[in-house]
Structure 1
Amino acid sequence: MPGTANNNQTKILYGPKSVNDAVKSICDIMRRGNVTSAVQYVPELTWILFLCALDDIDREMQEESDALGVTYTPPLHEPYRWRDWAAPDGDIRKGLDEKSPGSMFAFVNDGLIPYLKGLKGRPGATARQKVISEIMSGVRQVGIDTERNFLDVLDRVHRFRHRTMDKDHVFGLSQVYEGLLLKMGEKNNDGGQFFTPRQVIRAMVRVIDPRIGETIYDPGSGTGGFLAQSYEHIEEAIDAVGASDEQYAILKERTFYGCEKESLIYPIALANLVLHGIDHPHIWHGNTLTGREIHGDLFASAPHRFDVVLTNPPFGGKEGKDARNRFDYKTNATQVLYLQHVMDTLKPKGRCGIVVDEGLLFRTNEEAFVETKRRLLDECNLWCVVSLPGGVFTQAGASVKTNLLFFTKGECTKAIWYYDLSDLKVTKRRPLTLARFGDFFQCLPARSQSKASWTVDVVVRRERAASRARPFHDRAREKSREAAHWKERLRKLRALVPVERDAAAIEEASDKLKRLTRAARQFIAKATGIENAVYDLRASNPNKRLGVDTRTPDELLAIIEEKGEEVRKALAVVGSVSSKGLRDG
């Protein structure tokens, strides 16, 4: 059987570039091995990387248990641990190397994969084993074409172990996966699958400040970035004060919940969360909006309401009847349905941080948009809106303008504090960093007013809108009363026996009824437009200096005349040159 060089030397991977370069080299081998697109090599790389890193974590936990004198039961046993069959110096690997070609594929396809997929069905299966089975659920066999290429991948991945990663610079496997998926999205022009930049996630988690004992939910979890960052945030907080074993058990087993419908991304999310340290990520595999389930076992113990929701739902998508009919305010706009879902799933006093597109904030021309935002202001305290700069999602293949909403369920909104980051220049080479949120975090506790921040009094805004709309409502009622009079008159005229009917009178009454009804509708539309404008929640910074032209009409006319004279002189020169050219010709 063709073997590969036993390259088991440790190499520390510093920073995102080092990690991405290492992954790129693995993907190059996969492409060479007939796994040609990201749609193919992302799932393949997911389970291989996961099993490698899981073995590293397993070793660490065994060492800690031995030091404490407690029993540790590993999720995998010989010969199905990475150290046995994949590591260059593993006993099973060495034995397979000595056998005939095809031995490695036979072991993995006929032994390892069925074993891992069947773990969840074993009596007494642990939460970790059930998660492993779900991560492997879509894997049927090795997708790489030859054993030589497969072994090359294993050897390179072996150098990519947890212990070889520089913890200060590497965010985790989610960074690797999102980079791969971003390329897949760009190539396939998949505009519906956006991923949240790391620094936006960190900022949102810092604002919401999830705590130990709270349940945290992401209804569109993607690769699990919000949940993973929340885990790190809480772990750091409890480590600082000396966490108990019970607190760690709560954090790892009963804290993190999410939903993901994409079969490609679901196992990636599970792998990412387990490798961050979450023993039991309660991720539901299915469509959040339709309720259509693919796999729900891991979510079976989830509560109906959550303390914290952190999410970046898909925006720009269109939903069908199955999704629309499950919500009070029916629309095919994905982001509007997600916002309704978030409000439904928050506990009283629960906190939410959500990414929304600009359209959701400013649109007031569709009932579902208006009513959803009305409910948001009536049932929740929308205490902060952050206007993000354009280009934040450029690296994720999306140029849409976005905002961050932060709200608490259970009390109505009286005032909204806005912070404007839209003037920041963000490009692929100059991404949004956490440092650029510095002034925002300084202003946030006191809701300070500055050039970039201001407060909108929602109560006053509603009162003013009601006052401005009242005359139009009054006129509409007046026209409706008149219309009712003519409607009754028309009924009586038509009720007369044919010989007594006055055709002219009927026509006059019908015409007046139509005009009065139309006028009433127009007045109602004007009143409604004024009232609905309250729910245009976009960030319009009142502190920005607008480029207003202060020149007088006389000054502008003088400038136009001067420029006109310059144009006439230029045309005269052109004409002279052209005439000379014709004569010379």
Structure 2
Amino acid sequence: MPGTAKTTNTKILYGPKSVNDAVKSICDIMRRGNVTSAVQYVPELTWILFLCALDDIDREMQEESDALGVTYTPPLHEPYRWRDWAAPDGDIRKGLDEKSPGAMFAFVNDGLIPYLKGLKGRPDATARQKVISEIMSGVRQVGIDTERNFLDVLDRVHRFRHRTMDKDHVFGLSQVYEGLLLKMGEKNNDGGQFFTPRQVIRAMVRVIDPRIGETIYDPGSGTGGFLAQSYEHIEEAIDAVGASDEQYATLKERTFYGCEKESLIYPIALANLVLHGIDHPHIWHGNTLTGREIHGDLFASAPHRFDVVLTNPPFGGKEGRDARNRFDYKTSATQVLYLQHVMDTLKPKGRCGIVVDEGLLFRTNEEAFVETKRRLLDECNLWCVVSLPGGVFTQAGASVKTNLLFFTKGECTKAIWYYDLSDLKVTKRRPLTLARFGDFFQRLPARSQSKASWTVDVVVRRERAASRARPFHDRAREKSREAAHWKERLRKLRALVPVERDAAAIEEASDKLKRLTRAARQFTAKATGIENAVYDLRASNPNKRLGVDTRTPDELLAIIEEKGEEVREALAVVGSVSSKGLRDG
């Protein structure tokens, strides 16, 4: 038949390279089929690959239920299961192949898609059926131009049987989609979308150690990597001790929460989490910072505070007034607003692991940066900072320097333990592996010192800063008192009737008031600068030999700006003193 593609035998796909090669061949077909860009073919692949893998998991669950002698109710029924209509040997597929051209498109566009989208409207809809409908909510019809190309894609996707995925790579669909999206990021230099390397996620989850019964939240979920790995972490822990049915129900239905604003990524996250075994991923579709909701039904039962937050928020972005006005410390810097949001949404004693850019750590020249970090140290125990190598996010099209922060809400920070991984050379051919965190994991429990690790006493640092700033505050108060005297004198001089006013005296008083007010501001600024330097939290390894300057251009520009301001303030003070000396002499 004209619309029939030649069926192919199932091929076992062992690792990421095999998967990526196969995905590339599928994308080639989709481009041939008028789905020309990643923005088009990623959503198309999402629902196709999801339905394929869902069917495989459905078979596994049915087999397990039969073995245990319990009843299993599948989310999909004949003829809408992958095995019926898409598998090369499916009965519905065979029947459609025998019909006239257009039969497959008619079945999918007029039958399958409306059926899947309508599942959530059923009175007895399960959590998984509601998620399936949400994944399909943006799908109107098949985007590939011909049935031949569509069937060719189905046959190649059929090779992605769930059991054929690399067993060491726990991320399932994420293995496929993030490979696609990273390539898209490299090609288009899309700096707004950063995808966290798998080994960084594994390391962060291991440090935070989420447990059964805790709620876990990612306000910038992306494809769901942190939530998926947390599921694997908890499942492994409870499997080892023999968990109850209630614990498994809690893990699958009442544990994982997140937010994602990108319509392209949102269904991918849902699909990824469902295929991990999370029956009810509570993902809110909308803008975390503005609160603008696109779809919130799956998040309706979410708590206001969470036990664990694991996230890699966007950084480098600029937010508008609608986002800024929702936070205490207003700024357009996306990463600063996200850190405030994280602190707002953590329960007392809640734990957080977050990826931040270097700029958030070192910048002290903007009030929102300083006050956000002041709040972090005052309200939370920032117990660990890990400086990552510079090339960690290169594959995502971003060369930004990053760090990991780990903190617990509810007690102030007294000391920060730093670990420096920045000397590691990370490239595409030599990516960051979990093994390279080995020494870090070994030293973390005791916070031991080494060439790569050290501790900063925050209490002492604050005391020293206060001591250094005190003379400048004293001088500022002195100048303010003098200014107040001259302000009152000027008021009285100006209050005289015109014939009694002394123009020279008024000019002198006005000049002194301006100079003293300016000097008071300059001394205050100097004191504030010293105090704010406490909140430069970057990992400056005291054990590292002086060598090549590894600071980024943005860091250098910010430092130059700060130093330039200090020089201008110092010159102004010197000028003020010199001018006063000349007049007094």
TM-score (norm 1): 0.93
Question: Secondary structure, in 3 states, of the residue corresponding to 1:13?
Answer: coil
Of stretches 155-164 and 539-548 in structure 1, the one that deviates more from structure 2 is 539-548
| Residue aligning to 1:249 | 249
| Residue aligning to 1:577 | 577
Q: Distance in 1 between matches of 2:494 and 2:560?
A: 66
Checking the alignment, whether the CA contact within 8 Å between 2:308 and 2:351 is kept in structure 1 is yes
Taking a change above 3 Å as real, the CA distance of residues 301 and 95 of structure 1, as seen in their structure-2 partners, is: same
Taking a change above 3 Å as real, the CA distance of residues 2 and 579 of structure 1, as seen in their structure-2 partners, is: farther
1:237-265 deviations in Å (ceiling 9; x for gaps): 11111111111100000000000000000
Taking a change above 3 Å as real, the CA distance of residues 153 and 370 of structure 1, as seen in their structure-2 partners, is: same
Taking a change above 3 Å as real, the CA distance of residues 560 and 285 of structure 1, as seen in their structure-2 partners, is: closer
Q: CA deviation at 1:274?
A: 0.5
Question: Secondary structure, in 3 states, of the residue corresponding to 2:528?
Answer: helix
Checking the alignment, whether the CA contact within 8 Å between 2:515 and 2:576 is kept in structure 1 is no
Checking the alignment, whether the CA contact within 8 Å between 1:480 and 1:516 is kept in structure 2 is yes
Checking the alignment, whether the CA contact within 8 Å between 1:314 and 1:334 is kept in structure 2 is yes
| Residue aligning to 2:37 | 37
Checking the alignment, whether the CA contact within 8 Å between 2:388 and 2:421 is kept in structure 1 is yes
Q: CA deviation at 1:15?
A: 1.1
Q: Distance in 1 between matches of 2:323 and 2:554?
A: 60
1:187-229 deviations in Å (ceiling 9; x for gaps): 3332111100000000000000000000000000000000000
Checking the alignment, whether the CA contact within 8 Å between 2:14 and 2:164 is kept in structure 1 is no
Taking a change above 3 Å as real, the CA distance of residues 557 and 44 of structure 1, as seen in their structure-2 partners, is: closer
Q: Distance in 1 between matches of 2:74 and 2:155?
A: 23
Checking the alignment, whether the CA contact within 8 Å between 2:480 and 2:516 is kept in structure 1 is yes
Taking a change above 3 Å as real, the CA distance of residues 264 and 556 of structure 1, as seen in their structure-2 partners, is: closer
Taking a change above 3 Å as real, the CA distance of residues 90 and 560 of structure 1, as seen in their structure-2 partners, is: closer
Checking the alignment, whether the CA contact within 8 Å between 1:217 and 1:227 is kept in structure 2 is yes
Checking the alignment, whether the CA contact within 8 Å between 2:170 and 2:229 is kept in structure 1 is no
Taking a change above 3 Å as real, the CA distance of residues 394 and 558 of structure 1, as seen in their structure-2 partners, is: closer
Checking the alignment, whether the CA contact within 8 Å between 2:418 and 2:453 is kept in structure 1 is yes
TM-score (norm 2): 0.93
Q: CA deviation at 1:352?
A: 0.1
Taking a change above 3 Å as real, the CA distance of residues 412 and 4 of structure 1, as seen in their structure-2 partners, is: same
Superposed CA RMSD in Å reads 11.2
Checking the alignment, whether the CA contact within 8 Å between 2:285 and 2:296 is kept in structure 1 is yes
Taking a change above 3 Å as real, the CA distance of residues 372 and 554 of structure 1, as seen in their structure-2 partners, is: closer
Taking a change above 3 Å as real, the CA distance of residues 568 and 459 of structure 1, as seen in their structure-2 partners, is: closer
Question: Secondary structure, in 3 states, of the residue corresponding to 1:326?
Answer: coil
Residue 321 (str. 1) matches residue 321 (str. 2): yes
| Residue aligning to 1:390 | 390
Of stretches 119-128 and 453-462 in structure 1, the one that deviates more from structure 2 is 119-128
Taking a change above 3 Å as real, the CA distance of residues 501 and 18 of structure 1, as seen in their structure-2 partners, is: same
Q: Distance in 2 between matches of 1:468 and 1:576?
A: 22
Checking the alignment, whether the CA contact within 8 Å between 1:415 and 1:458 is kept in structure 2 is yes
Taking a change above 3 Å as real, the CA distance of residues 344 and 569 of structure 1, as seen in their structure-2 partners, is: closer
Q: Distance in 2 between matches of 1:576 and 1:474?
A: 17
Taking a change above 3 Å as real, the CA distance of residues 102 and 58 of structure 1, as seen in their structure-2 partners, is: same
Of stretches 208-217 and 175-184 in structure 1, the one that deviates more from structure 2 is 175-184
Q: Distance in 1 between matches of 2:281 and 2:162?
A: 20
Checking the alignment, whether the CA contact within 8 Å between 1:10 and 1:164 is kept in structure 2 is no
Q: CA deviation at 1:186?
A: 2.5
Taking a change above 3 Å as real, the CA distance of residues 578 and 460 of structure 1, as seen in their structure-2 partners, is: closer
Q: CA deviation at 1:69?
A: 1.7
Taking a change above 3 Å as real, the CA distance of residues 441 and 572 of structure 1, as seen in their structure-2 partners, is: closer
Taking a change above 3 Å as real, the CA distance of residues 78 and 537 of structure 1, as seen in their structure-2 partners, is: same
| Residue aligning to 1:416 | 416
Taking a change above 3 Å as real, the CA distance of residues 549 and 234 of structure 1, as seen in their structure-2 partners, is: closer
Of stretches 56-65 and 313-322 in structure 1, the one that deviates more from structure 2 is 56-65
Q: CA deviation at 1:562?
A: 39
Q: Distance in 1 between matches of 2:263 and 2:486?
A: 62
Of stretches 143-152 and 540-549 in structure 1, the one that deviates more from structure 2 is 540-549
1:484-512 deviations in Å (ceiling 9; x for gaps): 00000000000000000000000000000
Q: Distance in 2 between matches of 1:75 and 1:251?
A: 19
Taking a change above 3 Å as real, the CA distance of residues 251 and 508 of structure 1, as seen in their structure-2 partners, is: same
Q: CA deviation at 1:5?
A: 5.7
Of stretches 156-165 and 540-549 in structure 1, the one that deviates more from structure 2 is 540-549
| Residue aligning to 1:435 | 435
Q: CA deviation at 1:481?
A: 0.3
Q: CA deviation at 1:84?
A: 0.7
Q: Distance in 1 between matches of 2:132 and 2:57?
A: 14
Question: Secondary structure, in 3 states, of the residue corresponding to 2:484?
Answer: helix
Q: CA deviation at 1:569?
A: 49
Q: Distance in 2 between matches of 1:488 and 1:575?
A: 25
Q: Distance in 1 between matches of 2:250 and 2:401?
A: 37
Q: CA deviation at 1:559?
A: 32
Checking the alignment, whether the CA contact within 8 Å between 1:385 and 1:416 is kept in structure 2 is yes
Question: Secondary structure, in 3 states, of the residue corresponding to 2:352?
Answer: strand
Taking a change above 3 Å as real, the CA distance of residues 51 and 496 of structure 1, as seen in their structure-2 partners, is: same
Q: CA deviation at 1:68?
A: 1.6
Checking the alignment, whether the CA contact within 8 Å between 1:6 and 1:89 is kept in structure 2 is no
| Residue aligning to 2:188 | 188
Q: Distance in 2 between matches of 1:574 and 1:144?
A: 73
Taking a change above 3 Å as real, the CA distance of residues 98 and 544 of structure 1, as seen in their structure-2 partners, is: same
1:96-151 deviations in Å (ceiling 9; x for gaps): 00110000001000110011011111111110000000100111100111000100
Taking a change above 3 Å as real, the CA distance of residues 58 and 508 of structure 1, as seen in their structure-2 partners, is: same
Checking the alignment, whether the CA contact within 8 Å between 1:14 and 1:170 is kept in structure 2 is no
Taking a change above 3 Å as real, the CA distance of residues 555 and 534 of structure 1, as seen in their structure-2 partners, is: closer
Q: CA deviation at 1:164?
A: 2.1
Q: Distance in 1 between matches of 2:280 and 2:558?
A: 75
Report sequence identity in percent.
98
Q: CA deviation at 1:547?
A: 4.4
Taking a change above 3 Å as real, the CA distance of residues 356 and 567 of structure 1, as seen in their structure-2 partners, is: closer
Taking a change above 3 Å as real, the CA distance of residues 502 and 177 of structure 1, as seen in their structure-2 partners, is: same
Q: CA deviation at 1:566?
A: 42
1:276-306 deviations in Å (ceiling 9; x for gaps): 1111000000000000000000000000000
Checking the alignment, whether the CA contact within 8 Å between 1:473 and 1:527 is kept in structure 2 is yes
Checking the alignment, whether the CA contact within 8 Å between 2:217 and 2:257 is kept in structure 1 is yes
User: Highest CA radius of gyration, 1 or 2?
Assistant: 1
Q: CA deviation at 1:176?
A: 1.0
Checking the alignment, whether the CA contact within 8 Å between 2:3 and 2:101 is kept in structure 1 is no
| Runs (4+) off by over 6 Å | 548-585
Taking a change above 3 Å as real, the CA distance of residues 522 and 74 of structure 1, as seen in their structure-2 partners, is: same
Q: Distance in 1 between matches of 2:402 and 2:544?
A: 19
Checking the alignment, whether the CA contact within 8 Å between 2:6 and 2:152 is kept in structure 1 is no
Q: Distance in 2 between matches of 1:526 and 1:501?
A: 38
1:349-399 deviations in Å (ceiling 9; x for gaps): 000000000000000000000000000000000000000010100011100
Of stretches 428-437 and 62-71 in structure 1, the one that deviates more from structure 2 is 62-71
Q: Distance in 2 between matches of 1:516 and 1:477?
A: 10
Q: CA deviation at 1:168?
A: 3.0
| Residue aligning to 1:234 | 234
Taking a change above 3 Å as real, the CA distance of residues 529 and 580 of structure 1, as seen in their structure-2 partners, is: closer
Q: Distance in 1 between matches of 2:488 and 2:333?
A: 43
Q: Distance in 1 between matches of 2:111 and 2:476?
A: 76
Checking the alignment, whether the CA contact within 8 Å between 1:8 and 1:158 is kept in structure 2 is no
1:415-474 deviations in Å (ceiling 9; x for gaps): 000000000011111111100001000110000000000000000000000000000000
Checking the alignment, whether the CA contact within 8 Å between 1:12 and 1:166 is kept in structure 2 is no
Taking a change above 3 Å as real, the CA distance of residues 130 and 559 of structure 1, as seen in their structure-2 partners, is: closer
1:550-576 deviations in Å (ceiling 9; x for gaps): 999999999999999999999999999
Checking the alignment, whether the CA contact within 8 Å between 1:186 and 1:397 is kept in structure 2 is yes
Q: CA deviation at 1:10?
A: 3.5
Q: Distance in 2 between matches of 1:64 and 1:241?
A: 20
Taking a change above 3 Å as real, the CA distance of residues 558 and 439 of structure 1, as seen in their structure-2 partners, is: closer
Checking the alignment, whether the CA contact within 8 Å between 1:324 and 1:332 is kept in structure 2 is yes
Of stretches 575-584 and 178-187 in structure 1, the one that deviates more from structure 2 is 575-584
| Residue aligning to 1:464 | 464
Q: Distance in 1 between matches of 2:330 and 2:554?
A: 54
Taking a change above 3 Å as real, the CA distance of residues 575 and 266 of structure 1, as seen in their structure-2 partners, is: closer
Q: Distance in 2 between matches of 1:447 and 1:18?
A: 41
